[in-house]
């Protein structure tokens, strides 16, 4: 009589699942390492003296840790007459992003509300035209937008750049809120109308408080696009009114003599830090909000 034992189907499935997890997590670890190596190089380089940057291994830990490159990148440390940094441009981008994201999110929510709960003749055609605006390349609007900003006196200003980002972002914010509100029960809106609530009261008291998920999606989307934008910033602003992406480009491309890679890396990390924090804090809500707006549409 044979002493051989046979594994049950449950044990076989358990072994396969265990091996599958090892393969999946192994691949994820490899991909994460590939994506994190450039960030590690940037961080390590930003804390090294310039002499060590040129003579050492880019992946090696600094032999001498220094925050001087960060101070110079921010604009707090001066070398001779060179006091350039991204501090002023960082606040330019902050003011621009806060204003543009707030305005475009609110108007997009209002548009989505009108297109779903206050139907009118031709609303689908209007939404189609708004949707078409999502596919217009940045480069197409440069000359018309520059001409318009010049005529209304908003050229080369933060206010003009806010206007540009609001107009270009409205197509996306309207799309997000329209797809979210179309699944919102019409009965609640009708009940509020019967109770005497008007247009803005329904919007502010009923729909907007229930829109946290899609507001998070819109804010993260708009914040990322506006903060990382370079084309509009380089085209419609100059000098002290430029956003931080333009300032970073100037730091990298206007270096004379020895290139200060440690300062450039510190400036790049400072520029990328706000969007990184936004995704770290609100990333999981971003996915939830996208799923919430994809049920009907």
- In whole angstroms, give the CA distance from residue 3 to residue 10: 21
- pLDDT at residue number 166: 95
- pLDDT at residue number 287: 67
Under the banding of pLDDT at 50, 70 and 90, the label for residue 297 is: very low
Select 87-292's CATH number: 1.10.260.40, 1.10.3720.10, 3.10.180.10, 3.40.50.1980: 1.10.3720.10
pLDDT digit string, tens, across residues 87-96: 989 999 999 9
Residue 161 pLDDT > 70: yes
Q: Domain segments of the chain: what residues?
A: 9-74, 87-292
Mean pLDDT of 189-216: 89
User: Tokens 């594994």 label which residue?
Assistant: 7
- pLDDT at residue number 80: 42
Residue 81 pLDDT > 50: no
Mean pLDDT of 212-238: 91
């Amino acid at each position: 009589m044979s002493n051989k034992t046979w594994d049950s189907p449950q044990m076989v499935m358990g072994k396969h699942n265990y091996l599958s997890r090892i393969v999946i997590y192994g691949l994820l670890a490899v991909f994460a390492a590939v994506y994190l190596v450039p960030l590690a190089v940037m961080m390590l380089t930003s804390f090294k003296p310039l002499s060590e940057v040129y003579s050492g291994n880019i992946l090696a830990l600094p032999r001498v840790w220094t925050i001087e490159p960060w101070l110079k990148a921010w604009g707090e440390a001066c070398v001779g007459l060179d006091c350039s940094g991204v501090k002023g441009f960082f606040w330019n981008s902050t003011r621009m992003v806060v204003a543009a994201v707030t305005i475009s999110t609110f108007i997009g929510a209002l548009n989505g509300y009108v297109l779903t709960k206050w139907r009118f003749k031709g609303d689908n055609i209007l939404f189609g035209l708004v949707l078409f605006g999502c596919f217009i390349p940045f480069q197409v609007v440069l000359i018309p937008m520059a001409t318009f900003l010049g005529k209304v006196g908003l050229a080369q200003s933060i206010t003009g750049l806010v206007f540009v980002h609001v107009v270009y972002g409205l197509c996306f914010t309207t799309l997000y809120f329209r797809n979210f509100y179309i699944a919102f029960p019409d009965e609640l809106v009708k009940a509020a109308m019967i109770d005497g609530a008007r247009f803005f009261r329904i919007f502010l008291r009923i729909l907007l408080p229930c829109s946290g998920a899609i507001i998070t999606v819109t804010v993260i989307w708009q914040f990322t696009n506006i903060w990382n934008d370079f084309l509009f910033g380089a085209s419609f602003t100059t000098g002290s009114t430029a956003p931080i992406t333009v300032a970073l480009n100037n730091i990298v491309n206007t270096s004379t003599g020895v290139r200060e890679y440690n300062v450039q890396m510190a400036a790049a990390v400072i520029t990328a830090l706000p969007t990184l924090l936004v995704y770290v804090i609100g990333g999981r809500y971003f996915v939830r909000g996208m799923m919430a707006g994809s049920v009907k549409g």
